[in-house]
Amino acid sequence: MIRTSRRLADGREILYFDDDGHPAEHAAQDTRDLPPVSTRSQLRFDALVGEWVAIASHRQTRTFLPPADQCPLCPSTPDRTTEIPDAAYQVVVFENRFPSLATAVDRDVPPHAPGAPTAELRPGYGRCEVVCFTDDHQRTFADLGPERARLVVDVWADRTAELGAIDGVEQVFCFENHGEEIGVTLSHPHGQIYAYPYVTPRAEKILASVRRHREATGGDLFDDVLAGERSGPRVVCANEHWTAFVPAATRWPCEVQFFPTRRVPDLPALDDAERDAFVEVYLDVLGRFARRFDTPMNYIASWNQAPVRAGREDWWLHLQLFSFRRAPGKLKYLAGSESGMGAFITDTNPEDVAEQLRAVVVA
């Protein structure tokens, strides 16, 4: 993989990633007249539930579902400049112009929110990046092909290692939102990466569960879960290095989790064979998501990586792929129980979902 670093007109970093067989110079300059990025994010602590909330009101003005000929993630042309100055690219990563977290955020904040002494206040420190998977506006991850998909995996690993090395970053989260039903604001095939200055609530809960399981049984929770699922009725597909299964207690109408056979904490720790094998399984399942109903399912692809420091020896890397669609034309809404109490009620049976996904004919 070849990485080329450049700067956009407002000073943000842009990184071009090319496979070794197709190097490119990427010499185009960003000629736009852009004002400096202004980030006013804050982190406020919800003392009742013990979680941090990012307050990022400046994101109200971010670009929202522009027509294809105005897409800011497509390559630049002589008639129109975009976020990517070059006329073509393979994979591109750049700092988000409307970030929830940023390293250049104002550090001078009061100790707590106005009138709320229990709501500790911190700067919205971190980094948010956009990952463009291809310069073809009409493609999706499902039809990238193995070579490009593998390049994206390498990019995720590169960014995880680099962002995790930033002082103050505690966890790196790579993800893709796909489909307007999910809430995407740009239809170009892309994902995002967040570098958080704290350990996320999901990771904290998982690590606490791992500790409780060890104290109660002497066993390893990740290992026990994976061993059970590999031999159970919910496996969708598998190979030597990865198993993709519908979890027994899924929260979403359609969810598949991907676990490597070998315990690793994060994407950088995967070797070449494991990265190739992931691409094989992932593209297979994405194809099933695209063909299960009459139209492709929306989804969120969420990498669960170990925190930068806490609990790395206990963690097992895995990916969650889930959709809100429960039937053709019907979505699962996070209504009273889910949104109000965080108590999920699933409208589908995990074993049935696995069987339906296995039955999909993947071209």
Q: What is the pLDDT of residue 22?
A: 82
State in Å, rounded, how far the first CA of the chain is from the last one: 29
Select the more confidently predicted residue: 27 or 195.
195
What is d(CA 142, CA 189) in angstroms, rounded to the nearest whole number? 10
As beta bridge partners, residue 254 has: 323
> Same CATH fold, 202-359 and 2-198?
yes
Mean pLDDT of 302-311: 96
Per the rule left: phi > 0, alpha: psi between -120 and 50, beta: everything else, 311 is left
- 190 labelled catalytic: yes
**Per-residue confidence at 249, pLDDT binned at 50, 70, 90?**
very high
CA neighbor of 236 nearest in space, from 357, 318, 351: 357
Mean pLDDT of 223-231: 95
Q: Structure tokens of 323?
A: 């959709």
Q: What is the pLDDT of residue 29?
A: 94
Q: What is the pLDDT of residue 313?
A: 96
What is d(CA 132, CA 164) in angstroms, rounded to the nearest whole number? 20
Q: In whole angstroms, how far apart are CA 288 and each of 88, 106, 240, 276, 351?
A: 30, 45, 20, 19, 16
Backbone angles phi, psi at 194, to 5 degrees: -110, 135
Q: What is the pLDDT of residue 268?
A: 98
Hey, what CATH topology would domain 202-359 get? HIT family, subunit A (3.30.428)
Mean pLDDT of 210-228: 97
What is d(CA 246, CA 354) in angstroms, rounded to the nearest whole number? 6
Q: Walk across the sheet containing 116-123 and list its strands.
A: 51-55, 42-46, 116-123, 112-113
What is d(CA 153, CA 319) in angstroms, rounded to the nearest whole number? 12
User: Three-class SS string for the chain?
Assistant: CEEEEEECCCCCEEEEEECCCCCCCCCCCCCCCCCCCCCCCEEEEECCCCEEEEECHHHHHCCCCCCHHHCCCCECECCECCCECCCCCCEEEEECCCCCCCCCCCCCCCCEECCEEEEEEEECCCEEEEEECCCCCCCCHHHCCHHHHHHHHHHHHHHHHHHHCCCCCCEEEEEEEECCCCCCCCCCCEEEEEEECCCCHHHHHHHHHHHHHHHHHCCCHHHHHHHHHHCCCCEEEECCCEEEECCCCCCCCEEEEEEECCCCCCHHHCCHHHHHHHHHHHHHHHHHHHHCCCCCCCEEEEEECCCCCCCHHHCCCEEEEEECEEECCEECCCCHHHHHHCCCCCCCCHHHHHHHHHHCCCC
137 contacts 89 by C-beta, under 8 angstroms: no
Which of the residues 26, 190, 241, 318 is marked catalytic? 190
CA neighbor of 178 nearest in space, from 62, 39, 282: 282
Whether residue 38 has pLDDT greater than 80? no
Mean residue pLDDT of the chain comes to: 94
Mean pLDDT of 115-131: 95
Which is the CATH superfamily of the domain at 2-198? HIT-like (3.30.428.10)
13 contacts 96 by C-beta, under 8 angstroms: no
320 contacts 246 by C-beta, under 8 angstroms: no
226 contacts 346 by C-beta, under 8 angstroms: no
Q: Whole-prediction pTM value?
A: 0.96
Mean pLDDT lowest among 11-25, 143-157, 186-200: 11-25
Q: What is the pLDDT of residue 60?
A: 66
The model's pLDDT over 44-93, given as tens digits with 9 standing for 90+, comes to: 999 999 999 999 887 766 777 788 889 999 999 999 999 999 999 999 99
The model's pLDDT over 155-164, given as tens digits with 9 standing for 90+, comes to: 999 999 999 9
Domain boundaries, the chain: 2-198, 202-359
